[in-house]
Amino acid sequence: MTAVVQLQSHRPMDVDTLSSAQQLLELARGKGVDDRRRLLLGIAALCDATPPGADASPILGEIFMVIARQAERDIRKALSDSLASAEWAPPALIAMLALDEIEIARPVIANSPLLKDQDLLRVLVEATIEHQIEVARRPHISGRVADAIIDRGEPASLTALAGNKTAEVSEDSLGRLVEQSRRIAALRAPLTRHPRLNDALATQLYQWVGQSLREAIGERFRVDETKLAEAIESVTRPAAPKPVGAEPLGMAADPEVTDPEEMERRLVAKLQSAGQLRAGFLIRAVREKRLTLFEHAIAALGGFPITHVRAAIVRPSPDALFLACAAVGIDRAVFPAVLEEIRKLNGGWPGDGDEGYAGRMTLPPSAAMREFRALMGHIGS
């Protein structure tokens, strides 16, 4: 099928036969190849005849909606490319294209002036992570949309937002991004360059970045490196790497805390603050028969409520536990061994019922995280 963007530069061969908008609407309802060809020629003629800044006729808007709903993928893609920057295009059509598959949606999400906040919020709720990333990259998104992205907490979307220098991000919202950078390393570099980063947030960010980024922060802001170095050392000392076969995982060094679970929670918090909490730590916790430590660590690493993690471990099927492990980067090949150890520590739970666990083995971490949250969302935090 010839693309719309190519047809727009050609006049129809028989304009008289397509002069009526009602005739075009009838063609849009037709299913023949010739009807579609004549329709696209007619639409191209009406597009050419639309004055700059003028609204398209309601009939033309209806025609566009009909053809987009029925059209093949290449026609929808051509419409998206052609109408991405058009101010006269039917808003309902643009909103529909923004929810289409990502290659079709990308041009309108990135460029269409007709997408309003409510349209972008709908994309964040209903579409894929790839759509959400495009929304986060869209120039000049409002503070309302930026806050919605931060609320969702998807690492890839947050990273895209941090790199969007035109987004309306308030100081409080930027502070939330800086706080998220404790667990999401990819946020740190774009935040270091963010135009709205101030002295206080730069000092906070400085604690979690590597040497090269510290130098970049130091060039822009006045940072008390001596004071920060002492704070960082006190946090990272318990998380220093140990050789293979080293002593078991330690507890948080706080003589005032005697509750074992609270000690383990604090150990996890310190490791996360230092950027040292990794999937390997979770595997080691299970091997050392530290189930509570595993629960707190996977909750922190994935940003999950601890109640969701514990509910996943007592389900009749290992599906939820697998999704949580996949979301935080535990290799699929390692999961069966992790599952076996957890069952030994937890009275045989989770059970061996098959609720689609095998079919999820190829899910990427972002998709696994979404599915885990959806699956456990009915449980209170």
| pLDDT band at residue 254 using 50, 70 and 90 as cut-offs | low
311 in the same domain as 165: no
pLDDT for res 4: 40
Write out pLDDT tens, residues 115-142: 999 999 999 999 999 999 999 999 999 9
Residues 152 and 39 in one domain: yes
Determine, yes or no, domain membership for 229. Answer: no
67 closest CA partner among 105, 35, 110: 35
Give the range of the structural domain holding residue 72, as residue numbers without chain letter.
Answer: 4-175
Q: Is 196 within a domain?
A: no
**pLDDT band for position 13 (cuts 50, 70, 90):** very low
Say yes or no: 162 and 272 in one domain.
no
In the prediction, which pLDDT does 2 show?
37
**Does the residue 341 lie in any domain?**
yes
34-65: pLDDT as tens digits: 666 566 556 655 665 655 555 556 666 676 67
* Confidence check: pLDDT of 229 > 60: no
Q: What percent of the chain has pLDDT over 90?
A: 31
Render pLDDT for 154-172 as a digit per residue (tens, 0 to 9).
999 999 999 999 999 999 9
Domain count, the chain: 2
Residue 222 lies in a domain: no
In this prediction, residue 145 has a pLDDT band, given cuts at 50, 70 and 90, of: very high
Please state, in angstroms and as integers, the Cα–Cα distance from residue 250 to each residue in 238, 266, 302, 330, following that order: 8, 11, 22, 21
| 71 lies in some domain | yes
252, pLDDT greater than 80: no
Query: pTM of the predicted model, to two decimals?
Result: 0.51
145 in the same domain as 29: yes
Choosing from 175, 199, 218, the residue where a domain stops is 175
Look up residue 316 and give its two tokens: 């009749």
- Give the C-alpha separation, 24 to 201, whole Å: 58
- 169, 292: one domain: no
Closest to 292 measured CA to CA, from 356, 249, 229:
249
Of all residues in the chain, what percent carry a pLDDT higher than 70?
66
Query: Is residue 154 a part of any domain in this protein?
Result: yes
Q: What is the mean pLDDT of the chain?
A: 77
Structure tokens at 269: 């918090």
Q: What's the pLDDT at 174?
A: 93
In a domain, 214, yes or no: no
State the amino acid at position 187 in one-letter form.
Answer: L
DSSP 350: S
What is the C-alpha separation between 302 and 159, in angstroms, rounded?
16
Burial of 362 (0-12, 13-18, 19+ CB in 10 A): exposed
Neighbours of 329 (CB within 10 A): 14
Whether 164 and 268 map to the same domain: the answer is no
- Chosen domain end from 139, 160, 175: 175
**Average pLDDT of span 260-284:** 86
In a domain? residue 42: yes
Is residue 305 a contact partner of residue 276, using CB atoms and an 8 Å limit?
no
Q: Last residue of a domain, which of 124, 151, 175? A: 175
Q: What is the pLDDT of residue 131?
A: 94
